[in-house]
Amino acid sequence: MPHTWKKEDILQFLQARPGTERQALYDRADALRREYMGDEVYLRGIIEFSNICRNDCLYCGIRAGNTRVERYRLDDEEILDVARRMIGYGQTTVVLQSGEAPSREGDAALGRLLARIKAETPLAVTLSVGNRPRDVYAAWRDCGLDRYLLRFETSDPALFARLHPDSPLAERLRCLDDLRTLGVQVGSGFMVGLPGETLSVLADNILLCRDLGLDMIGIGPFLPHPDTPLGQTPNVHALDPDMHFLALAVLRLANPDAHIPATTAFDALFPGTGRNLALVRGANVFMPSATPAARRKDYLLYPDKPCVDETGDMCARCVFGRLSAIGRSVGLGPGHSLRGRTPSSNPKEAPL
């Protein structure tokens, strides 16, 4: 059940001072996460099956204009082999992620792959491959698609247009609406600290997530990639990196019953601890990399991405130790959306 915080409330939370004020927000977000989502952490393994992309988003390491990237696409048998191995590591969802490279033949082939995964494994399937027409989403749904992840990145149309020369924000929002009306579970989210982001924009990002009624919300820090036009532009919160956790906590306050992952980018900004801290400040999903080791270095959306030199099995084993260290258990079952679930006693919305 979404909370009815107004923008002035969100802005007040985002201006919490380091120390006891922020810790109070972290604690409240963690308590709200426990009340609505429980202590189970759902594992969703990511297979980055292709880095081929037609778009030139200014911040992305696999943008079409980056000629230093070795392009690849995994074949279906390799993807299926990785998906089957996920089952033994407590991963109940496979997330298929790629650059945006739509084509009639490719989209149809992706549908056939979805159908095979659903027929040959018990895994839930999430796709994250960018903007598509409604009929393509409908065809994928009919092939067994459970969820779709499509981040809007910023709620500011002018800022979105500067960063994404290939499509407007309105098109991205149209895609999210199409997915929702088709009955697909919808994930979206945004980057924190994009050049041009203000505190007002950050508040609007959080409120847009709530207004979209998202089933999953992924956020993470903007990390400038050296081979992009923004490679020398710092994160706007570079002098206060804990703002990224503050945004995560406030996101949970506004979206108590959404799945919120501890995204890999938190570990890039806070090596070895970032995702653990996210899990005790509002997050409830962990997304270990299952991309074959030989291809991980070719799917760097941002620099210093963790786990690039590990195998998928190493990542899978590591997550159990990390969850044990914070007293959390692995979620059983597919971890489908809990939107609309109401706990026995709803938390109050009194400002902190």
Instruction: Tell me if 252 is assigned to some domain.
Output: yes
Number of separate domains in the chain: 1
Instruction: Tell me if 339 is assigned to some domain.
Output: no
What pLDDT shows up at residue 48? Answer: 98
| Cβ atoms 352, 24 nearer than 8 A | yes
Q: What is the pLDDT of residues 303-346, one digit of tens each?
A: 999 988 876 566 667 899 899 999 999 999 999 998 754 443 33
Q: What percent of the chain has pLDDT over 70?
A: 94
| Cβ atoms 210, 254 nearer than 8 A | yes
Instruction: Tell me if 343 is assigned to some domain.
Output: no
Instruction: Tell me if 345 is assigned to some domain.
Output: no
Q: What is the pLDDT of residues 150-179, one digit of tens each?
A: 999 999 999 999 999 999 999 999 999 999
Instruction: Tell me if 200 is assigned to some domain.
Output: yes
Residue environment code for 286-306, b if the CB has 16+ CB neighbours within 10 A, otherwise e: bbbbbbbbebbebbbbbeebb
Residue 155: give the domain boundaries: 7-330
Q: Is the pLDDT of residue 88 over 80?
A: yes
Instruction: Tell me if 98 is assigned to some domain.
Output: yes
Instruction: Tell me if 167 is assigned to some domain.
Output: yes
Mean pLDDT of the chain: 93
Q: What is the pLDDT of residues 211-244, one digit of tens each?
A: 999 999 999 999 999 999 999 999 999 999 999 9
Q: What is the pLDDT of residues 12-26, one digit of tens each?
A: 999 999 999 999 999
Instruction: Tell me if 164 is assigned to some domain.
Output: yes
What pLDDT shows up at residue 338? Answer: 80
| Residue 316, C-beta contacts closer than 8 angstroms, at least 6 positions apart | 45, 86, 89, 90, 91, 288, 290
Q: What is the pLDDT of residues 229-286, one digit of tens each?
A: 999 999 999 999 999 999 999 999 999 999 999 999 999 999 999 999 999 999 999 9
Residue 217 token pair: 């919300």
Residue with tokens 């426990």: 34
CATH no. for residue 136?
3.20.20.70
Q: How many CA atoms lie within 13 A of 26 on its CB side?
A: 18
In degrees, to the nearest 5, what angle opens at C-alpha 173 toward C-alphas 169 and 176?
145
Residues 158, 161: Cα–Cα separation, whole Å: 5
SS3 96: strand
